[in-house]
Structure 1
């Protein structure tokens, strides 16, 4: 990826269009929003693949991310709690616990930050 300085922030071209990023959300996505999105969406995508492979038909996955940032220094992200609301067939609490364990193990974004950001996950089954 290549990033170009703009009057406000930076931009990059992707196959889906221009991605604008800036510390001021009036001009683009804030960097921490992209970080949190990457972790949440990676986890959700991995979870879906795992459930498909385990023949658990997924109808819907909703993810909320609660973020704790430092109040001192660089305001860095310290903790991310992901809560998954899952609607699927052929699923139990026990199967879902195993799904979450595998998701954490195979999500590249969670593994990339595991030594610097505490990432926790919970889930609830819907329907």
Structure 2
């Protein structure tokens, strides 16, 4: 995997991936910050796992949202100290054991973003099932 980050102006940068996608990142709050993209990556990566695991169990999923809340260190380098991911999953006849298992497998085995942060960030999860 390759990517290029190019300075645009002030503290604004443009990132482009090898696959051709691009994203503007900013250190002044004008667009997504690099830390916000890390937080979004946690939610997206783990949500992909949750949906994929449930679909592989042949369950019907209508929606999956991941609400994220993170705490950061007060002093530089202001890393994340805690991240909580709360999944809101809706589908047909979803059982708590299935959603619990999907969330656990993502956090403990499959989500590369969460696992990359493991040991440096306290990551917790929860979920709500909506019929």
Same fold (TM over 0.5): yes
Q: 1:51 aligns with which of 50, 54, 59?
A: 54
Equivalenced residue count is 125
Q: Give the aligned CA root-mean-square deviation in angstroms.
A: 1.3
Which residue of 2 is the match for residue 67 of structure 1? 70
Which residue of 1 is the match for residue 29 of structure 2? 25
Which is richer in strand? 2
CA contact (8 A) 2:54 2:98 kept: no
Structure 1 runs, 4 residues or longer, greater than 3 Å off: none
Task: Extract unaligned runs of 5+ from structure 2.
Answer: none
Which residue of 2 is the match for residue 2 of structure 1? 4
After superposition, give the CA deviation of every residue in 1:11-55 in whole Å (9 maximum; x if it has no partner). 123434x311111121x3101100000010000011111010011
The residue correspondences of 1:102-117 to structure 2 (distance < 5 A) are 102-104=105-107, 105-117=109-121
TM-score (ref. length: structure 1)? 0.91
Distance 2:79 2:39 in 1: 12
Task: Extract unaligned runs of 5+ from structure 1.
Answer: none
